[in-house]
Amino acid sequence: MSGTHAGNPIAARVRRLEERLVAGGLVTDGELDAVLASVLRGATPLNGARIAARAWSDEGFRERLLADAGAALPEVGLSMAGGLQEQRLKVVANTPETHNVLVCTLCSCYPVALLGPSPSWYKSEAYRSRVVREPRSVLTEFGFELPETTAVTVWDSSAESRYMVLPRRPDGTEGLSEDELAGLVTREGLIGTAAV
């Protein structure tokens, strides 16, 4: 895990911690790299897209997913296990009345296994602080305008809990297969900073 992190204070702190663990003989750089590789193996926004497409196609799965996402994920061959501890996942559904958007105000907690590595803007201090205070303005900056009648709910992730947005199914997609539906879903839609 070498490299410089001059512009990223969180990455620099992580690297200092890694160096202390290696210097203390607790772990090697190779072991740290292997852990990271195992966490990221199969981590892609396609996983979240598959979940959304199944929820759009199967009302029973949708209900189970919204009630207890951790219990529903194995139905599509996924789970939130894989790190040091299993994380709770809550899936929040967008409706015409409510739009959901995700953030982690403390750092950048994020469901990597379902959405792939987080985008750089998600980790930025500007996004993390502003989306809580002025979500509608931040969404507009992403090019996403919501009707004034649509409430915006911001979900703040933590070390134990992660969130995923279930976007609204696009109109005119009734005849599409799950694979075709999954192809419409973007990582930004699963975070809530774009429509699908």
Where residue 33 falls among pLDDT bands split at 50, 70, 90? confident
What's the pLDDT tens digit per position in 50-91? 999 999 999 999 999 999 999 999 999 998 875 545 679 999
Q: Is 158 a catalytic residue?
A: no
Active-site hit among 107, 120, 137, 177: 107
Pairing, β 151-156 against β 161-166: unpaired
Q: Is 109 a catalytic residue?
A: yes
**Token pair 């702190």: residue:** 13
Q: Which fold has domain 45-191?
A: Nitrile Hydratase; Chain A (3.90.330)
Q: Domains of the chain: which residue ranges?
A: 9-40, 45-191
Q: Is 104 a catalytic residue?
A: yes
What's the pLDDT tens digit per position in 138-189? 999 999 999 999 999 999 998 889 999 999 999 999 999 999 999 999 999 9
Q: Is 124 a catalytic residue?
A: no
Active-site hit among 2, 57, 109, 118: 109
- For 40-71, the three-class secondary structure string (H helix, E strand, C coil) is HCCCCHHHHHHHHHHHHHCHHHHHHHHHCHHH
